Amino acid sequence: MSVSRSSATVLAHAKVNLCLHVLGRRPDGYHEVAMLMQQVDLADRLQMTVADNGKIRSSCPGLVLADGEENITTRAARLLLDHVGAACGVTIEIDKQIPQAAGLGGGSADAAAVLLGLNRLLDLRLTKEELMKIGLQLGADVPFFLFGAPAWATGIGECLEVCPGIPSCWLVLVNPGEAVSTAWVYQNLRLTGSKPAVKLPKFSEGIGGLVRLLHNDLERVTIGKLPVVAEVKQALVATGARAALMSGSGPTVFGLYPDRGSAADSAQTLSARTDWWVRVVKPLS
C-alpha cells in the first residue's frame, strides 16, 4: 500500500450537548437518548506520522496516557489499519486543549481525528459513512465527530440527522477542575420509566428558542456528586449568560451569550474570581 504523505495534522473539535434526553435503558445495558450536539472551535491538535515498524504509539505532553488498547487513539489506529490490511504503524502526538473526562467529547473527538488522519495519510479514500461505521466500534459518540454538522442524535447516539437553523450564539465553557466518569453517571441515573420520543427541534425564535431547548437529564446525577457544577451554573447566569447547562455527563458547564463581547466579559470576570478553567468558544456550523 502506498503512502501519500508521511505526516499530517488533524484538529479534533470538542462538542457540547445543547440538549440531552435519556429515554430509557435497553436490554443490552445501553441507554436510548435524544441529543442535539454541536462542535465548537476548541480543539485538540493531533500530529500523526506513519511508521514502518508496524507499531502504534500515542503520546500527549503533560499527560500520562493509558497504554495499548486502553488508549482510544491507539485503538482507533489499530482498528483502521486492520480494516484495510495495512502493515504500517503510526505515531500520534496529541496537543491536548480539551479537558479530560469533562463532557466535551475529547476522547471521541481524538479517535475520530485519528481515523480521518490515517484515511488521508494512507490515501485510503474511505467514505464518511465507512469511517462512521468503524468509529461506532470505538464509542457511540465517535460517528458524530465524523459527521461534519450539528446533529440530532438518537438510538445510543449513533443515529444522526442534520439539525439546521441553530441560532447563532457564543458560549463560555467552564470546568471547575473536577473529572467524572460517563459510565459512572449513567450507572447512577435513576429512570422512573421510559420517556416518550423527543422530536428533532426546529428554530424560529432566535436565541430565545435555543434557551428554551436546553435540557440535560444527566445534570442532577453529576451535581449530586459534584455540587460545584450547580455553583458554576449560577456564576455564569450571574455574569450575564442567557442560560447555562452542563454538557454531556459533565462537569463542564456552558453559558449561552448573544455575542462575543458579552461572552468575553463574562469569561474575564469568572477567570478573575475563580481558579476554574474558562474558555470563550464559537459553535461550528
Of 15, 110, 217, 233, the catalytic one is 15
The yes-or-no answer on residue 141 being catalytic is: yes
33: β partners: 22
* Cell numbers linked to 134: 468503524
Burial-class residue 68 by CB neighbours within 10 Å (0-12, 13-18, 19+): exposed
As a whole number of angstroms, the distance between CA 221 and CA 228 comes to: 13
As a whole number of angstroms, the distance between CA 118 and CA 237 comes to: 42
The yes-or-no answer on residue 15 being catalytic is: yes
Taking residue 238's Cβ as centre, other Cβ atoms within 10 Å add up to 13
Of 110, 141, 217, 233, the catalytic one is 141
Asked if 100 and 63 count as a contact pair (C-beta separation under 8 A), the reply is yes
As a whole number of angstroms, the distance between CA 65 and CA 214 comes to: 33
Cα-to-chain-centroid distance, residue 154: 16
What is the DSSP code string of 14-36?
EEEEEEEEEEEE-TTS-EEEEEE
**Helix (H/G/I), strand (E/B), else coil: 13:** strand
Q: Are β-strands 253-257 and 170-175 bridged in parallel, bridged antiparallel, or unpaired?
A: antiparallel
As a whole number of angstroms, the distance between CA 16 and CA 175 comes to: 13
Asked if 11 and 45 count as a contact pair (C-beta separation under 8 A), the reply is yes
Asked if 10 and 48 count as a contact pair (C-beta separation under 8 A), the reply is yes
* Cell numbers linked to 232: 458554576
Q: What residues act catalytically?
A: 15, 141
